Copies of this chain bind each other. A is one copy, B any other.
Amino acid sequence: MAVTIKDIADKLGVSISTVSKGLHGAPDISESLRTTILDTAIEMGYKTKSMRRENNKKLAIFIEYIEYENPTDFGYELVLGFKQMAGHDKWDVKVIPITADFQMQEKYDAFMLKNGFSGGFFMGFHSNDEWIKRMSTTTIPTVLLDLYIRRNPNVALIGTDNDESFEYSIEHLSELGHKKIALLNGPEGSMAAVSRNAAYEKYMTKYGLELNPSLQQYGMYDEECAKQYVSDFIDAGVTAILCGSDHIAVGVIKECFKLGYKVPEDVSVIGFDDLPMAAKNRIPITTIRQDRGELGKSAYVILSSLVRNVAISKSLMHPKFIKRSSTGPCKDRQC
């Protein structure tokens, strides 16, 4: 049975017209009463008319911390792929860049309810963002890129299969004779980076290669972090460096040249993402392609399933291994 305005009024001991005013933001009730009414409506699973009406189908894409406006940006094809698939099914999609501040001011469920969105797709958020921290109790169908919320049937993760990605990379380097392979990862606060760390350990072990904590470092998704680690890696005898992103790989290659080492003759480097810059780099970068258009499409497929009450938890995409010029045979004859 669908929850009605009368159910909410009965529960709160107020009149139906008061509840109606609260739900529609009328100015003649207090802000605290409005909040109580909205919170109660959400808790009881109330859906506004616009959420129930079939011809007003709205989904939101929330974006924080990643670029999406230009074709070379990480988020561009994600948004495009999502919109393409959603368009086929006649959904209206709104892209909403969002700040940490806004998340403190307005609750996620209330925002969705007030604006008549049936579901949300989140790109670029951190696990300590306010909306993410409260995601374990949301009743709104929600898909998160690279963030996993346990135990809430309304929320699913989408991402690229890191396990398969690292199998490709480490197999490739192993076939080229490399044994000392370092990992310069994204930040430890990134769930994708943590998952790649585990995949690195799994496949280094599987290929009989030695793990060494000093060769396995968390950095940032930028070029700068290479400066801190590359010199130590090379001093330790590393002949190949796996990177958590193409940006990191560009930084690593620059740092190798600065230190007087050639890529790939002295050091092989593998990126992650296959942003357009990876192919255009002076040394075109061998990398793992996350197909962002497909990720966006998949995000829509999963979100529309959640909207239909199919409780998907995680959905991962196959990566592609892209061989370019930044990897080559291990030179060290001890390889």
Given known contacts A153-B318, A318-B153, A301 and B310 CB-to-CB distance under 8 angstroms: yes
Interface segment, A70-78, A118-126, A291-299, A323-331? Answer: A291-299
CB of B305 within 8 A of CB of A311, answer: no
Nearest chain B CB to A305 CB, angstrom units: 5
Q: Is the CB of B305 within 8 A of A297?
A: yes
Query: Cβ of A49 < 8 Å from any Cβ of B?
Result: no
Inter-chain contact A314/B311, CB cutoff 8 Å: no
A315 to B298, CA, bound (A): 11
Q: Which of B164, B302, B305, B313 contacts A161 (CB 8 A)?
A: B313
Q: Are A313 and B305 in contact (CB under 8 A)?
A: no
Could you say which residues of chain B place their CB within 8 Å of the CB of A150?
A: 164, 167
Closest to A309 in B: B294
Mark out the residues of chain A between 136 and 181 whose CB falls within 8 Å of any chain B CB in the assembled complex.
150-153, 161, 164, 167-168
Give A315 Cβ to nearest chain B Cβ, in Å: 4
Interface string of A278-319 (1 = CB under 8 A from B): 000000000000010010011001100100111111111110
B161, B311, B317, B318: the one within 8 Å of A317 (CB): B311
Nearest Cβ distance between residue A307 and chain B, in whole angstroms?
A: 11
As for how many copies of this chain the complex holds, the number is 2
Among A150, A291, A301, A313, find the residue whose CB has the most chain B CB atoms closer than 10 A: A313
Q: How far is the CA of A302 from the CA of B315 in the complex (A)?
A: 9
Known: A150-B167, A167-B150. A161 touches B297 (CB 8 A): no
Q: Which of A317, A318, A320: most chain B Cβ within 10 A?
A: A318
Contact A297-B314, Cβ < 8 Å, known A151-B164, A164-B150: no
Known: A297-B305, A298-B305. A315 touches B312 (CB 8 A): yes
Decide if B311 touches A294 in the complex (CB within 8 Å): yes
**Smallest CB separation, A257 vs chain B (Å):** 33
Judging by beta carbons under 8 Å apart, are B164 and A313 in contact? yes
A297, closest chain B residue (CB): B310
The 22 listed contacts between A and B (C-beta, < 8 Å) are: A150-B164, A150-B167, A151-B167, A151-B168, A153-B318, A161-B313, A164-B313, A291-B311, A294-B310, A297-B305, A298-B310, A301-B301, A301-B305, A301-B312, A311-B318, A312-B316, A313-B316, A313-B317, A314-B315, A314-B316, A315-B315, A315-B316
- Other A-B pairs beyond A161-B313, A297-B308, 9, CB < 8 Å: A151-B318, A164-B313, A294-B309, A297-B305, A298-B312, A301-B301, A301-B310, A311-B317, A311-B318
